[in-house]
Amino acid sequence: MFKMTPNVLRNLISKKATRRYPRQVRPPYESVRGELRNDSTQCNLCGACALKCPSQCITVDKTAGTWTCDPFACVYCGVCVDTCPAQSLTQKREYRPPAVERQTIFMQGEPRKKTKTPEAVESG
């Protein structure tokens, strides 16, 4: 009976396993697949990401020159990053922070012309 006793007593005297999260943030690992970013200077709006995305959360409108991602549907698999021919898609190491409203990641680029100062705009 009470075979667990040595373990719990060890826990009592040893250092606690808890990471005091908000106060003490552990730096993310090198290769973490976090929030999706599109580098507007590189994106050529080819639409490969939209085609390959398993979650179908990216829409690219070539004529209007927009690139939209629904971050709430994104599954962070990184397939789009792997397939992006222009390597404009990257994943940050952090996850997207919680929000109180629906959001989309929206990017307005020049239709058909790249490298023209498109802005990345986020709108709620």
Partner 1 sequence: MILTTVYVLTGFVIGPLLGGLISGLDRILTARLQSRIGPPILQPFYDAAKLLGKEKTVVNVWQAFCAFGYLAATSMAVVLFFLRSDLLLILFIQAVGAVFLVVGALASTSPFSQVGAHRELLQILSYEPLLVLVVVGIYLETGSFKIGSVLTHPEPLLLKLPFLFVVLGYALTIKLRKSPFDLSTSHHAHQELVKGLLTDYSGPYLALTEIGHWYEIMLLLGLCALFWATHWVGMTILIVVTYFMEVLIDNVSARMNWRWMLGYVWAMGLTLSLVNLIWLYTA
Partner 2 sequence: MFKTVIPFGPQHPVLPEPIHLKLTVEDERITEAIPSLGFVHRGLERLADLRDFHQMIQVVERVCGICSMIHAVCYCQGIEELMAVEVPPRAKFLRVIWSELHRIHSHLLWLGLFADSFGFESLFMQFWRIREKIMDINEATTGNRVIISVNVVGGVRRDLSHAQIKWVLSELQMIEQDIKRLENTMLSDYTIKKRTVGKGLLTAPQASELGAVGPTLRGSGVAQDIRQTGYAAYGELDFEPVVETDGDCYARCKVRFRETLASIDLILQAIANLPAGETRQKVKGRPEGETVTRVEQPRGELLYYIKANGNKNLERLRIRTPTFANIPALLTMLPGMWLSDVPVIVLSIDPCISCTER
Partner 3 sequence: MLKNLIQKSRIKSPWLLHYDCSSCNGCDIEVLACLTPVYDIERFGIINVGNPKHADILLVTGTVNQRNKKVLVNLFDQMPHPKAVIAIGSCALSGGIFREAYNVVGGVDKVIPVDVYVPGCPAKPEAIIDGVVLGLEKLKTASLPARL
Q: Which is nearer to partner 1, 9 or 73 (CB)?
A: 9
- The residue behind tokens 């404009």 is 88
Nearest Cα to Cα of residue 84 among 45, 30, 117, 119: 45
Residue 71: both structure tokens together: 């971050």
Q: Which is nearer to partner 2, 4 or 13 (CB)?
A: 4
Closest separation in Å from C-beta 116 to partner 2: 32
Total chain residues near partner 1 (CB under 8 A): 14
Residues contacting residue 103 through CB under 8 Å, at least 6 positions apart: 71, 72, 122, 123, 124
Closest separation in Å from C-beta 71 to partner 3: 5
Decide: residue 67, CB within 10 A, 0-12 exposed, 13-18 middle, 19+ buried: buried
Q: Which of 8, 24, 97, 123 binds partner 2 (CB under 8 A)?
A: 8
Q: Which is nearer to partner 3, 76 or 106 (CB)?
A: 76
Residues in touch with partner 3 (CB under 8 A): 16-22, 25, 54-56, 70-77, 95-102
